[in-house]
Structure 1
């Protein structure tokens, strides 16, 4: 199976149009256009009954105390964890494309709704936890929200855009399900997968 993510080349920077946060020399970061990229795939194996689309960053610091703090840096040696930016499940087998901006077009304070989205069923992304302490932004974030790594992180972040072909029409998930729930439900049902990886940073020393 082959996945194309329009505008994102393997190993190259993710364009700012797809980012939640963009570099600002005065304030470190400003809200970005936050559009989901156009994704299309082909070559799904026989027996495919649905698709899962996800995007995650495996380079998020496991301890975020120093993230985005003046006069501090997030050491590249801190252990890293997965941060899910996009979870769509139960995408019908007849669909092989998600157009740009279909699932997200701008930063929406307090998050987008879960449940059935324009394409598939939306899961909860990790901005829900990341912004929980910000009264202006706190909420449940579902669907796509793009890259926004700490602007003082010494590590370049990688963003894995993935599609998985499954042998079931539905994963049976409902309510506020997260990335771990999706991975657990997918186990044993994946017929094929494809991935495109881009990079992103807000650290001026790495740009």
Structure 2
């Protein structure tokens, strides 16, 4: 099975058009175009009944005390955790492409609703938790929301775009389900999977 993410090559920087946050010399970060990239896949195995698309960043600081704080840095030695940026499940077996901008086109304060979307069923991404304390932004963030790593992080962040071919038509998930729920529901149902990884940073010393 093969996945193609248009505009993103393995191990190369992700274009700013797909980012939630872009570099700003004045304010460190400003909102980006936040469009989902076009994702397509091929060579799914016989017996595939649905697909799931997952995008996550495994390089997110497990402790956020120093994140985006003036005069501080997020140490490269800090333990890291997964931050989910995109969860789409129950994509019909007849679908093999998600067009650019279909699931996200711009930063929407307070997010997008979970549940059935333009293609498949949306789970909630980790911005839901990350922005919960921000009165201007708090809400339910479902579907795609792109990279916006801490601007003072010492490490480059990696973003894994994954597609899974599944042997069930539905994972049976509803409501505001998250990335761990998707992983648990897929267990034992994956016929094939494919991944491409891009990188992104807002740290001017790493750009």
- TM-score tier, shorter chain, comes to over 0.9
Aligned equivalents of 2:179, 2:158: Cα separation in 1 = 17
Residue 79 of structure 1 corresponds to 79
SS of equivalent residue, structure 2 residue 57 = strand
Task: Map residues 57-96 of structure 1 onto 2, 5 A cutoff.
Answer: 57-96=57-96
Task: Work out the CA distance in 1 between the residues paired with 2:109 and 2:203.
Answer: 24
User: Structure 2 stretches of 5 or more lacking a match?
Assistant: none
What is the CA distance between 1:66 and its match in structure 2? 0.4
The structural deviation recorded for 1:140 is 0.7
Deviation at 1:190, TM superposition (A): 0.2
Count of aligned positions = 207
Structure 1 spans left out of the alignment, 5+ residues: none
C-alpha displacement at 1:63, in angstroms? 0.2
Q: Within 2, Cα distance between the matches of 1:134 and 1:65?
A: 15
CA–CA distance in 1 between the matches of 2:65 and 2:135?
A: 18
> Which segments of structure 1 move beyond 6 Å, counting only runs of 4 or more?
none
User: How big is each residue's C-alpha offset from its partner over 1:47-86, in whole Å with a ceiling of 9 and x where there is no partner?
Assistant: 0000000100000000011000000000000000000000
Alignment pair present for 1:200 and 2:200: yes
The TM-score with structure 1 as length reference comes to 1.00
Distance 1:205 1:178 in 2: 33
- TM-score, with normalisation over the residues of structure 2? 1.00
1:135-177 Cα shifts (integer Å, max 9, x gaps): 0000010000000000000010000000000000000000000
Residue of structure 2 in register with 1:122 after alignment: 122
Deviation readout 1:23-66 (Å, 9 max, x if unpaired)? 00000000000000001000000000000001000000000110
- SS at the partner of 1:51? strand
| 2:106 is equivalent to residue 109 of structure 1 | no
For 1:176 and 1:26, how far apart are their aligned partners in 2?
Answer: 36
Hey, what's the Cα distance between the residues in 1 that align with 2:101 and 2:69?
Answer: 31
Distance in 2 (CA, whole Å) between partners of 1:67 and 1:159 is 19
1:87: Cα distance to partner? Answer: 0.1
Pair 1:50 & 2:12 matched: no
